[in-house]
């Protein structure tokens, strides 16, 4: 128990200094102790799993790269085994427990963290009436609100940002292998600044809706829905347009080419074919029923058709990360500002 008598007498208000940020910050951290323990526990458990898997995967991939000559059947087999074992097969992704499944599950971690920390911040004060205590102390409502909302935001962003280093390590063999592009939505959301930025956004949205609704659970539900809709819309409809895609000749199906936004076929006369027109092409049954995925492409090429793709090259990865991180940061700042504004104008 701290003892000792502090400080100024109430009469001397001539040079009134505000309560220092560090004091209010201590209050914020004390009140968020439970949330901090929760976040550490969740990320800690995930981190243990990721570290173990990253060691296993990096070792297995080292065996693949050490295999010479790379074109030998034995090495090809090894590479394919590595990919299907650790990334996950096409059909049994959920059972295989590969990195594909793990990164799909990781998709919900930012929103879980954000909702868990952000939603109760203000809503619990309003719900239980403790705001009548908090907002009538000498520190004042605005400083209290800024500390309560901004300090956890900074901590959460820093922790998830640091956590991304682990995710890079975990993903490294698959990215190096060329099986997986950094632009793959599963990977893009977990790498770079996206993981931290989406966590911050979920937090800010939960804090804002919590302030608006005055209830924790509705704020959690609304945040969850809005987050999932926006995350999917971003991956499918918004992210491809951060910059005009590059048009390249040929269909490159594997990794390494970048992120394929769309692909099409041009007739020998240079006219672009619609999907319906492609379906009407007189392709022989032997090609249509062929097991080889190249048979169709070879037939097209052999008959004067050309294949095109519009692509976001892998080299744009960081640019896209910063664009996405930037707008998420702006939206989060607006939401937190909105929450502070609501607190300032809210009555008892």
Partner 1 sequence: MNVIESTALGKRYRRKWALRDCTLDIPGGHIVALVGPNGAGKTTLLTMAVGLTKPTEGGVTVLGGVPAGSPDALEGIAFVAQDAPLYRNLPVADMLRVARRLNRCWDQRRADDRLERLGIPPRQKVGELSGGQKAQLALTIALARRPGLLVLDEPLAALDPVARDDFMTSVVEAAREDDISVVLSSHVLAELERVATYLIVLARGQVQLAGSVKDLLASHGAGLEEIALRHLRAGVPTTSGTDAGR
Return the structure tokens found at 11. 């009469």
> Which is nearer to partner 1, 30 or 68 (by Cβ)?
30
Report if residue 138 touches partner 1, rule: CB under 8 A: yes
Q: Tell me which residues in 26-85 interact with partner 1 (CB under 8 A).
A: 26-27, 30-31, 34
Q: How far apart are CA 138 and CA 334, in angstroms?
A: 27
**Pattern 273-302, partner 1, x by CB under 8 A:** ------------------------------
Helix (H) or strand (E) holding 57: helix 33-66
CA distances from 272 to 216, 261, 263, 307, 316 (A): 53, 16, 11, 10, 27
Strand ordering across the sheet containing 272-273: 246-249, 306-312, 259-266, 272-273
Binding partner 1 by CB under 8 A: which of 5, 286, 289, 315? 5
Helix (H) or strand (E) holding 169: helix 141-177
Report if residue 347 touches partner 1, rule: CB under 8 A: yes
Q: How far apart are CA 346 and CA 129, in angstroms?
A: 13
Smallest gap from Cβ 144 to partner 1, in A, equals 7
Smallest gap from Cβ 20 to partner 1, in A, equals 9
Smallest gap from Cβ 334 to partner 1, in A, equals 24
Burial of 338 (0-12, 13-18, 19+ CB in 10 A): middle
Smallest gap from Cβ 344 to partner 1, in A, equals 10
Report if residue 10 touches partner 1, rule: CB under 8 A: yes
Report if residue 133 touches partner 1, rule: CB under 8 A: yes
- Which positions touch partner 1 (CB under 8 A)? 1-11, 13, 16-19, 23-24, 26-27, 30-31, 34, 128-140, 144, 345, 347-348
């Amino acid at each position: 128990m701290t003892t000792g008598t502090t400080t100024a007498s109430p009469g001397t208000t001539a040079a009134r200094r505000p309560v220092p940020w560090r004091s209010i910050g201590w209050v914020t951290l004390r009140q968020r102790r439970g949330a901090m323990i929760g976040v550490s526990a969740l990320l800690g458990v995930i981190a243990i799993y990721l570290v173990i898997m990253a060691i296993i995967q990096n070792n297995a991939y080292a065996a693949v790269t050490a295999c010479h000559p790379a074109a030998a059947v034995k090495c090809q087999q090894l590479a394919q085994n590595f990919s299907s074992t650790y990334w996950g097969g096409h059909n049994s992704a959920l059972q295989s427990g590969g990195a594909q499944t793990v990164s799909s599950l990781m998709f919900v971690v930012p929103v879980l963290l954000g909702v868990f920390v952000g939603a109760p911040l203000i809503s619990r004060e309003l719900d239980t009436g403790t705001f009548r205590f908090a907002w009538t102390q000498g520190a004042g409502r605005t400083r209290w609100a800024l500390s309560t909302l901004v300090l956890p935001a900074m901590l959460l962003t820093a922790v998830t940002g640091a956590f991304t280093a682990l995710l890079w390590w975990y993903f490294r063999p698959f990215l190096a292998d060329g099986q997986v592009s950094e632009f793959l939505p599963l990977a893009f959301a977990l790498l770079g600044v996206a993981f931290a930025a989406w966590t911050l956004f979920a937090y800010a949205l939960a804090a804002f809706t919590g302030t608006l609704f005055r209830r924790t659970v509705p704020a959690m539900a609304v945040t969850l829905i809005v987050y999932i809709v926006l995350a999917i819309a971003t991956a499918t409809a918004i992210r491809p347009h951060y910059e005009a895609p590059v048009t390249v000749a040929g269909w490159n199906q594997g990794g390494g080419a970048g992120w394929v936004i769309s692909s099409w076929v041009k007739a020998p006369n240079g006219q672009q074919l619609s999907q319906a027109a492609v379906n009407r092409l007189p392709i022989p049954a032997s090609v249509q029923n062929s097991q080889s995925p190249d048979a169709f492409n070879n037939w097209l090429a052999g008959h004067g058709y050309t294949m095109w793709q519009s692509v976001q090259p892998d080299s744009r990865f960081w640019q896209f990360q910063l664009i996405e991180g930037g707008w998420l940061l702006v939206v989060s700042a607006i939401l937190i500002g909105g929450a502070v504004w609501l607190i300032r104008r809210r009555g008892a």
